[in-house]
Amino acid sequence: MPVTMEKLVSLCKRRGFIFPGSEPYSGLAGTYDYGPLGVELKNNIKRAWWKRVVQQRDDIVGLDAAILMNPKVWEASGHVAGFADPLVDCRKCKARHRADTLEPPGACPQCGSEDLTDARPFNMMFRTFVGPMEDTASQTYLRPETAQAIFVDFPSILATARKKLPFGVAQIGKAFRNEITPGQFLFRLREFEQMEIEYFVKPADWERVFAEWLQFMQDWMAACGIAPERYALREHADDERAFYSKRTIDIEYHFPFGQKELYGLAYRTDYDLTQHAQHSKQDFSYFDEVTKERIVPHVIEPSVGVDRMVLAVLLEAYHEIEGGRSTTTESTKEAEVVLKLPKELAPIKVAVLPLSKKEPLAAKAQEIVRELRTRWMVAYDDVASIGRRYRRQDEIGTPYCVTVDFASLEDGKVTVRDRDTMTQDRIAIPDLVGHLSDLLGC
């Protein structure tokens, strides 16, 4: 049975993955907070991505730039003039909506009235003031994308990183958009995170590199546990693409509320570097040692939202088993939730469960916890029956449970139970770290 948003949101709240932001004050639309388990999942996604794009490659370097930038950046990039969605007002109920997503088309989604104003552009950048004066001279914006900092820093990176074309710069960071209608949980936020790469190429190479990144993106989807049939590749039509882009393909995931953009790949030509060169009057060119030519590199941009990725990973992992799993020690006849997260992404890698709270079992279990904690996020749970404890761990996606029982005191072995297969193996305590390392692969 496919998971509904209602069930997922409820699990996230119940188990401390994700809560609405500013909750005691009735929330703040378009913001969510990642709780103790959510932050682990999100960090694991970011770490896994960074490992694949920066650590394991020779041709990409990392960057962590400031969120606040000189407002001239946003003039040069075209965001001041053009980063807008069409806004309409309902004359009857005064609600405001994004004109291109009205459901039903031409009518107010709130009251149904068709008495709407003409659409007008609404700039989605959040404005703020730098320094003690609140005037236009001190006004700047919270960045609406991480990409521009990479372009702005291109000359510094070129001068210091000793890279030759093709090479890329990767960045993970917050972006802010004053979306007209935030919603659908983590899908459309006003504060979110992006993982972006600007990959610089010689103009003649763009098609080959574009195809390579499209493949990389699909490999990444697989690493996140998302099978190809759960998403579609959608090529943007000529009239839909941003004016500077020569080709755009989105990976659209089958969310419960429809097939929507998760990951975008765009060929941005030399638009951004040229714009910044013109506006800043600085040199954004690259000198090719072989041809002895100076060129402005072209750019391929794979860009993904971390929060949308978290949402897709959770939707994909969510499995509900009606009537419970047959071999649990207690049959509750209740539906059981198993979060089949890829092991690399699971917030908690191992849970240690002593069969009894009493000594000397508890001390033995704590000793094991101390050792495992030097490598992984570990949970310790000694409350309620063992079946119930397994279910608690299944629900948050913990790949392995280590049960310490009375026999452990005699034979020096513990039981390692697998989340997905529910198989149980007796492992000698001195072999436990090696055994779990092999199983977890990390």
Peptide bond into 104 cis (omega under 30): yes
Would you say 179 or 320 has its CB closer to ligand ATP?
179
Q: Do residues 271 and 246 lie in contact, with contact meaning Cβ atoms separated by under 8 Å?
A: no
If binding is defined by CB under 6 A, does position 151 make contact with ligand ATP?
Answer: no
Greatest C-alpha distance within the chain: 79
Tell how far CA 239 is from the center of its chain: 29
What is the distance between the alpha carbons of residues 204 and 430, in angstroms, rounded to a whole number?
57
**Amino acid type, 230:** R
Give 388: exposed, middle or buried? Use CB within 10 Å, 0-12, 13-18, 19+: middle
Would you say 36 or 183 has its CB closer to ligand ATP?
183
Contacts for 188-191: CB closer than 8 Å, 24+ residues apart: 188/30, 189/30, 189/31, 189/32, 189/307, 190/29, 190/30, 190/31, 190/126, 191/21, 191/30, 191/31
Would you say 240 or 420 has its CB closer to ligand ATP?
240
Would you say 188 or 254 has its CB closer to ligand ATP?
188
If binding is defined by CB under 6 A, does position 393 make contact with ligand ATP?
Answer: no
If binding is defined by CB under 6 A, does position 262 make contact with ligand ATP?
Answer: yes
Cβ partners under 8 Å of residue 129, min gap 6: 135, 138, 139, 140
If binding is defined by CB under 6 A, does position 391 make contact with ligand ATP?
Answer: no
| Contacting residue, 15, 79, 177, 389, with ligand ATP by CB under 6 A | 177
- Site size with ligand ATP, rule: CB under 6 A: 16
What is the distance between the alpha carbons of residues 311 and 254, in angstroms, rounded to a whole number?
11
Kindly state the smallest distance separating residue 363's Cβ from ligand ATP, in Å: 46
Would you say 230 or 375 has its CB closer to ligand ATP?
230
Would you say 263 or 286 has its CB closer to ligand ATP?
263
> Which spans in 318-360 are helix H?
none
Kindly state the smallest distance separating residue 438's Cβ from ligand ATP, in Å: 34
| Contacting residue, 83, 199, 263, 286, with ligand ATP by CB under 6 A | 263
Kindly state the smallest distance separating residue 267's Cβ from ligand ATP, in Å: 13
Q: Would you give the end-to-end CA distance of the chain in angstroms?
A: 31
If binding is defined by CB under 6 A, does position 148 make contact with ligand ATP?
Answer: no
Annotate 256-323 with DSSP letters as a single string.
Answer: TTEEEEEEEEEEEETHHHHHHHHHH-----EEETTTTEEEPPEEEEEEEEHHHHHHHHHHHHEEEETT
Kindly state the smallest distance separating residue 45's Cβ from ligand ATP, in Å: 12
Would you say 313 or 372 has its CB closer to ligand ATP?
313
Interacting span for ligand ATP (CB under 6 A) from 72-80, 92-100, 162-170, 189-197? 189-197
Helix axes 306-317, 5-14, angle to 10 degrees: 100
Kindly state the smallest distance separating residue 49's Cβ from ligand ATP, in Å: 13
If binding is defined by CB under 6 A, does position 209 make contact with ligand ATP?
Answer: no
Interacting span for ligand ATP (CB under 6 A) from 6-14, 42-50, 68-76, 256-264? 256-264
| Contacting residue, 168, 173, 302, 305, with ligand ATP by CB under 6 A | 305
Cβ partners under 8 Å of residue 191, min gap 6: 21, 30, 31, 174, 175, 176
Interacting span for ligand ATP (CB under 6 A) from 20-28, 100-108, 188-196, 372-380? 188-196
| Contacting residue, 32, 151, 176, 192, with ligand ATP by CB under 6 A | 192
Binding mask 285-304 for ligand ATP (x = CB under 6 A): ------------------xx
Interacting span for ligand ATP (CB under 6 A) from 53-61, 259-267, 404-412, 434-442? 259-267
- DSSP state letter for 53: I
Would you say 43 or 181 has its CB closer to ligand ATP?
181
Interacting span for ligand ATP (CB under 6 A) from 37-45, 305-313, 338-346, 432-440? 305-313
What is the distance between the alpha carbons of residues 79 and 73, in angstroms, rounded to a whole number?
9
**Amino acid type, 234:** R
Q: What is the dihedral of CA 84, 86, 91, 95, to 10 degrees?
A: -60
If binding is defined by CB under 6 A, does position 252 make contact with ligand ATP?
Answer: no
If binding is defined by CB under 6 A, does position 194 make contact with ligand ATP?
Answer: yes
Q: Do residues 76 and 273 lie in contact, with contact meaning Cβ atoms separated by under 8 Å?
A: no
Name the residue whose CB lies closest to ligand ATP.
305
| Contacting residue, 188, 276, 364, 389, with ligand ATP by CB under 6 A | 188
Cβ partners under 8 Å of residue 83, min gap 6: 74, 123, 124, 125, 144
Q: Which helix (H) or strand (E) holds 331?
A: none
Q: Residue numbers of the site for ligand ATP (CB under 6 A)?
A: 145, 177, 179, 188-189, 192, 194, 261-264, 303-305, 307-308
